[in-house]
Amino acid sequence: MSNVVADAPLERDAGDSLLTVGVEEEFLLVDPATGAAAEAVDQVLEEVPPDLRGQVQHEFLTSQIEIGSPPGLQLEALAHSLGLLRSGLSAAAERAGFQLLAVGTGPAGPDDEHSPRIYENPRFHRMIERYGNVSPGPGYNGMHVHVGIPSPEIGVEVLNHLRPWLPILHAATANSPFYNGRDTGYASWRSVLWNRWPPVGPTPWLESHAHYLRIVDELIDSGMLLDEGMLYWYARLSSHLPTVEIRIGDVCLTIDDTILVAALIRGLVAAAMEDIEAGRPALAVEHHLLVAAHWRAAHDGLEGLACDLFEGGSHPAWKMVRRLFDRIGPHLERHGDLETVSYLLGRLHTHGTGAARQRSVFTRTGEMSQVIDYLAVQTRG
């Protein structure tokens, strides 16, 4: 909900029109003895090294903490930044007596009646006053990917082009199968809980930037939004950076997973911009089909079926991943990402999503404590 990356300088290279990419990640703080969400953000922030503090901050609940990478052009630099932040924050959490988990929501509780307090922030209190208790639980942790755009007008067209592709990215990031000590039957239970917030959902079809702004104003006037920052569409224009912000996924389990998703999203944005320049229209998918495709993604992850919004029907999710890869291959190559993405997609196919990996640990051990320990190790990197 907050924006760690807001003060970072936006790096652009107009000479070769490469697109910058930056990432925000939200994490859960837990008690290592029980695995339950811990109201620990202030204690952990005190332990964060001074050189990292500008990229770390609190989130909505006192059991959450967030990092933000500087935007840049190179995946290697992004991975290095996230590695320093994750390892530094994991160590800070351990010094404070807690564990840091990259997981969509709490596997071991607490239940909704015993959820952590919201962070002492006037805006967060206004949100609770407006919406009521729609956000009980240990915390919902997502990943937001920012990709640079030349103008808001182009950005709105990009959002239209992204709509049919976001469900497969939703599936790829699924990383929250457990909640309150049980398997929910979903790959991304965070997605189900997050959709209780009124502003959450697929981005509507947009006629222009003026149309986008008019919708925001109308939603604020209706009372559904407090401000533009509460526009929780799955993709939107950033309110503070010249970027499109894709915010569909659970926080990824590992740095490799995050880098893969960031590269795929940048490739999609680049492909959309090429289509816009060539005058190729976006596919105008009906809203109910988008809702269905995102539900399927949250339920199955990549281990089941995915809705085909281009040709209709449902197919194995990896068939849609293959189509996505073929679509953006030239743009991955142009950004120098093709080899990295090919390798990381192979690993994802072999090992499964974060949800599948968590379930594998639980199936092998039968212990939620082993899942928690596994999450902590994978989070650190």
Q: Which residues of the chain have pLDDT under 50?
A: 1-15
Phi first, then psi: give them for residue 121, nearest 5 degrees.
-140, 125
Of the candidates 224, 199, 205, the one whose C-alpha atom is nearest the C-alpha of residue 290 is: 205
The identity of residue 31, as a single letter, is: D
DSSP 197: S
Task: Tell me the pLDDT tens digit for each residue of 318-342.
Answer: 999 999 999 999 999 999 999 999 9
Collapsing DSSP states into helix, strand and coil, what is residue 38? Answer: coil
Whole domain around residue 128: which residue ranges? 4-380
CB 172 within 8 A of CB 36: no
Instruction: Say what the pLDDT of residue 136 is.
Output: 66
HSE, side-chain direction, 13 A CA sphere, residue 359: 20
CATH number of the domain that residue 28 is part of: 3.30.590.20
Rg (CA), the chain: 19
Instruction: Say what the pLDDT of residue 125 is.
Output: 79
Structure tokens at 370: 């082993």
Of the candidates 269, 229, 15, 264, the one whose C-alpha atom is nearest the C-alpha of residue 121 is: 229
CB 182 within 8 A of CB 358: no
Task: Tell me the pLDDT tens digit for each residue of 251-295.
Answer: 999 999 999 999 999 999 999 999 999 999 999 999 999 999 999
Euclidean distance between CA atoms 318 and 277, whole angstroms: 29
CB 291 within 8 A of CB 201: yes
Percent of all residues in the chain with a pLDDT value above 70, rounded to a whole number: 93
The total domain count for the chain is 1
Collapsing DSSP states into helix, strand and coil, what is residue 345? Answer: helix
Q: Strands (DSSP E) along the chain, which ranges?
A: 21-30, 56-58, 64-68, 99-101, 142-148, 178-179, 182-183, 235-237, 243-250, 305-307, 314-316
Phi first, then psi: give them for residue 188, nearest 5 degrees.
-130, 85
Q: pTM to 2 decimals?
A: 0.94
